[in-house]
């Protein structure tokens, strides 16, 4: 699907599909068969979310390299961690805040209807809302897709290959690699 539609569109489809499954889970979360179907939809939608965010980030790094001429992967990895680690903590705190607000009592083995509603709300609708917000943000602000972007990435790939060949040649001149290695590299 990525080859036909592109990273952005498949990621957005995953967000929307997972959101749909979560909303269905909220409304039908007390019946076994609808729960199973809802979770299947969530799982199918969550697969591209899990798998495609890294290539989307790589596209951002490529775009940055096109703009600046520098490859700053470590900067992006550090910023990603700086944002995602606190976000995970905030998400967990938000869930606990929601269920506490609806009367969840961790000392009780059977929860009130209000507490069960809070669990369903925090587990389904809140993530669904954030997935929808993410999809809208991608549609509005993420411009790294389409034929023009693919052409820019192909040109950047050629630049990377040229840099790699120059690096291998330098290592050979310095005697750090043999001609056998260079021939093997060129065959690949």
42 and 94 together in one domain:
yes
Say if residue 141 is in the same domain as residue 166.
no
- C-alpha distance from residue 62 to each of 4, 24, 119 (Å): 21, 38, 41
- Write down the mean pLDDT value for the chain: 92
Tens-place pLDDT, residues 108-146: 999 999 999 999 999 999 999 999 999 999 999 999 999
Same domain, 124 and 155: no
Angle at 9 between CA 75 and CA 95, to 5 degrees: 65
Q: Is residue 69 domain-shared with residue 108, that is, in the same domain?
A: yes
Examine the pLDDT at 13 and tell me if it is beyond 80: yes
157 and 82 both lie in a single domain: no
pLDDT score of 33: 95
**25 has a pLDDT exceeding 70:** yes
**pLDDT value of position 182:** 66
Task: Enter the tokens of residue 171.
Answer: 């290592």
Are 135 and 153 within one domain? no
Q: Convert the pLDDT of each residue in 77-100 to its tens digit.
A: 999 999 999 999 999 999 999 999
CA atoms 87, 91, 97, 98: torsion sign: positive
Give the N- to C-terminal CA distance of the chain in Å, as an integer: 27
- Tell whether 171 and 87 lie within a shared domain: no
20 burial class (0-12, 13-18, 19+ CB within 10 angstroms)?
middle
Q: Does 184 lie in the same domain as 108?
A: no
Find out whether 7 and 52 touch, Cβ atoms under 8 Å.
yes
The reported pLDDT for the residue numbered 116 is 94
Predicted TM-score (pTM) above 0.75: yes
CB neighbour list of residue 138: distance below 8 Å, 6 or more residues apart: 8, 11, 12, 15
Residue 179 and residue 123 share a domain: no
With a cut of 70, say whether residue 71 has pLDDT above it: yes
- Given a cut of 70, whether residue 181 has pLDDT beyond it is no
Rounded-to-integer distance, Cα 23 and Cα 42, Å? 10
Domain that holds residue 20: 2-145
Give yes or no: residues 126 and 170 share one domain. no
């Amino acid at each position: 699907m990525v080859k036909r539609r592109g990273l952005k569109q498949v990621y957005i489809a995953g967000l929307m599909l997972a959101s749909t499954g979560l909303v269905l889970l909220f409304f039908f979360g007390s019946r076994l068969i609808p729960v199973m179907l809802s979770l299947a939809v969530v799982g199918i939608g969550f697969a591209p979310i899990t798998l495609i965010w890294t290539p989307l980030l790589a596209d951002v790094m490529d775009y940055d390299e096109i703009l600046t001429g520098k490859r700053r992967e470590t900067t992006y990895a550090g910023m990603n961690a700086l944002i995602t680690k606190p976000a995970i903590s905030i998400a967990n705190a938000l869930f606990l805040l929601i269920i506490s607000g609806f009367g969840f009592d961790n000392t009780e083995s059977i929860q009130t209807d209000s507490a069960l509603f809070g669990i369903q709300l925090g587990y389904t609708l809140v993530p669904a809302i954030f997935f929808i917000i993410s999809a809208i943000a991608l549609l509005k602000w993420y411009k790294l897709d389409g034929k023009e972007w693919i052409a820019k990435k192909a040109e950047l790939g050629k630049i990377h290959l040229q840099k790699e060949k120059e690096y291998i040649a330098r290592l050979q001149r310095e005697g750090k690699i043999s001609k056998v290695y260079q021939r093997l590299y060129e065959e690949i």
